Amino acid sequence: MPQRFNRLAATRLRHAIAVLMCSLALTGCGTLHSARMWFPKASGLDEITHQLYVEPSMAAEQRQELQRQIALGRATVGAFYGDVTSRPYIVACITRACDTRFGSYGQRAAAYGDIAIRLSAKGLAAPLIAHEWSHAELYRRAGGWWHARKIPRWFDEGVAVVLANEPRHSEDNWREIQRLGIPVPQLAELESFSDWGMALRKYGETEGDVPGNRHVVYTAAGQEIRDFLACTGPTGILTVLHSVRSGSSFDQAYAHARSQCVQ
């Protein structure tokens, strides 16, 4: 028992350090302002498995459906990347109070490196889970924080958009944005975490699902990745991540992958 306890304690300590590093880097991560994410069970959540913690008031039927959605989301990630190398634990809330306690600023979902994913009541569906899991997978494949910090937000978010394939960020939505002549951000506006936040405010994406909100920031990032994949083929993303992990700058890796286009 003591040996098992020590292993679990060591694992949680590594999680805490990694999540803290993630929050400081703010690259592909949720913004951490609650230490409860480090220890969800000790913070009052029900442990379904070592990879899933839910708000106690979540009904049995909801728990079962959430596990089904998680399996679907994971399968989506595996289909896109070829397999799944990350194993983030998931914290799922169904009330705003729980969201706030575990660090939410109102997001539907958020990823913390390759360590954890937080879901709100609006984030319990497979596409949202797949989107956040994509961040975790990209973070891990890039080689962790030291390498992932080189990757611009538009790439990380764009990959997640394409993988999750939500209608609100789809290619059809991009065409409608173009038809309506709605201003869209340039990639240079979407480099850092703070850039991304400013762009969301500038282009009105913080308003949520309201009439006229075309989600131009996420959609523009997704379209850049769609164009990239149309050029490089399905292995383009993995090529970039491997290069970054091997020490290349992101700009060099991205340009080199484009130079090898199949078209």
Domain residue ranges of the chain, discontinuous segments joined by +: 2-142, 153-259
pLDDT of amino acid 4: 47
Question: Quick check: 102 and 55 in contact, CB under 8 A?
Answer: no
Parts of the chain with a pLDDT under 70: 1-34, 207-210, 262-263
**Nearest alpha carbon to residue 254 among 160, 164, 150, 165:** 150
Specify the pTM.
Answer: 0.87
pLDDT of amino acid 5: 43
Tell me how far the alpha carbon of residue 70 is from its chain's centroid. Answer: 14
β-strand 89-92 against 52-54: which pairing, if any? Answer: parallel
Structure tokens given for 50: 């070592």
Question: Quick check: 84 and 137 in contact, CB under 8 A?
Answer: yes
Give φ, ψ of 49 to 5 degrees: -140, 180
Q: What is the pLDDT of residues 63-81, one digit of tens each?
A: 999 999 999 999 999 999 9
Contacts of 30 (CB under 8 A, 6+ apart): 23, 103, 107, 110, 111, 112, 118
CA dihedral 193, 214, 255, 242 (to 10 degrees): 60
Query: For the chain, how big is the Rg over CA atoms in Å?
Result: 18
User: Alpha-carbon distance 10 to 68, whole Å?
Assistant: 30
